[in-house]
Structure 1
Amino acid sequence: MTLTPQELYIINEVAEAASSLKVRAFVVGGFVRDKVLGRPCVDIDIVCLGDAIELAKAYQSRLSFNPKLSWFKNFGTAHLNVNGYDVEFVGARKESYQADSRNPTVEPGSLQDDQERRDFTINALAFEITILPVDPHTNLLKSDFTIQIIDPFNGLSDLADGIIRTPLLPEKTFSDDPLRMMRAIRFASQLGFTISSPTLLGIADASHRIKIISQERITDELNKIMMSAKPSVGLDLLYKTGLLKEIFPPMVDLAGAEYIDGKGHKDNFYHTLQVIDNVCLNTNNLWLRWAALLHDIAKPATKRFEDGIGWTFHG
């Protein structure tokens, strides 16, 4: 794992703050995943075995430029931006959910509790924050030092194999937070990973529960799929698991080909996926990608067969 000089500075200052409070703290989640993969990441999630807000305040006090600190006492979280890095502090916790709600009951927990509540094994990786040895000539981590990753669910193996898998039973993970189903598909689309068979079946079985998630959060995940290098991967998974039918029924209506007197039309769903992938080769503009996705959206409503002509989609 390679850390930039700025990342080393952030982690070592947090380590000093944690030491002054005599608490243990860990970097957990997407930052560890992306660093192992060699991907850039500017979101650093820090889990504290203690009062996360007090740790964040102690960390802020060590910084000469005094960045703005935001904290949320009801949730026990704090956040600040350090030279372009979003650093978030949270106390280790365990959560439980009611079947019809996305608002968890939260209580203090251990690091293991915190890792168990993560969505996927690749996001349950952690390392303890301690003073890291820096090479004074390069400002990088000393080459003879290895960061020990805490990996209770074989997430490193899943990263190496390109597998997305839940740390607990899929029905438990997706029941707690149904948006995780879309996150699994988003990661598959962004990283080019494969969703494990049990996890994929779990998504299909729980797809109806996506209805309890707000439209804003669904749209946010869908936009992230649209901005991946090959959106067709995610859109096809949404279709095959039944999620697309729940969140965007008109897209599902495009699927399938119909034949009369030996004359058929193309499957407009998979045609649309080809179009959006081709558009994505030339633009990162989200709205152009959406235009490609919607270019045939009215065809199911206007489709008809005319004798002597065949299939037509003109209104």
Structure 2
Amino acid sequence: MKRRFLVGAVGVALACSGAAALAQSWPTQPVRMVVPYPPGGANDVVARIYALHLQQALGQPVVIENKAGAGGQIGAESVARAAPDGYTVLFGAIGSLAIHAVIPSQKPPYELSKAFVGVSMGASVPLALAVRQGLKVADVKALADAAREKPGKLTYGSAGNGSTQHMTAEYFRQRTSTDLVHVPYKGSAPAVNDLLGGQIDLVFETLPALSSQMSSDKIRLLAVTSRQRVPGLPEVPTVDEMGVKDFEVVTMYGLLAPSGTPKDIVERLSSAMRTIGARPDVKAQLAKQGAEVKTSTPNETDQLLRQEVEKWSVVARNAKLE
């Protein structure tokens, strides 16, 4: 028995020393940053801004790999199954990861809280409530009143079932006791196109996806979903200001690593992310995309992910999503 104990203790000591040696020498090769969505979207844009500066901080290339599909799940699963050595990380949409974790039909083949360790947030992007120009509502209260007067008549588009856009509209529906009809699309672009064409009445969509249509006379922004007004759109009120108290939804993008990644590597990555996020040029780059820098410690990142899971589990349960 004593011999077995000694062998086990030696094994643990060797494993710990090996992890420590890995962390001290890391990185000695390029780091692969998986973005679970196609190029050009908000998640991809934010990831590329950070990757450019991370490779300077780490002294090794940080290579973006767009691994899209299944609403971000294909890329996320590939990282969850990757070796926890710091050479494969995920730059994903935190809300989408949380939403998939709480909708039974969309649950991934891994347990979110056990598959990843938080590194740092990168940015937050509020959504905007946009309506077609022909919809005669002046503000959020008028929209809610119209929806209650004609239940099941107003339609909203989303980037797909279980998307942050879908769940934000569902959250709004629950908070305002309104009956809105969901029209899912395969992405944000076709939903916005149909809003412009008048085929649907409204969308909750990220500002980057709406940015090219801000000056269009075919849609109107009624509100943003962040707690504070967006600096670039100071004239647009928040949903909270419009009477739906404590309503807040922001799409958060952040860096996660496979569970088991050495703590020293996680801390080094997190420190680099926070340093990069504090740079004025990075803040300016993100602001052009309608995003705001939001960095965090590993513990804070894990906590934010837990909060998102709790929030969307309530929404999904009330909506009876399967």
> Which TM-score bucket, shorter chain as reference?
under 0.3
Q: Which has the higher contact order (CA 8 A, sep 6+)?
A: 2
TM-score normalized by the length of structure 1:
0.25
Rg (Cα) greater in structure: 1
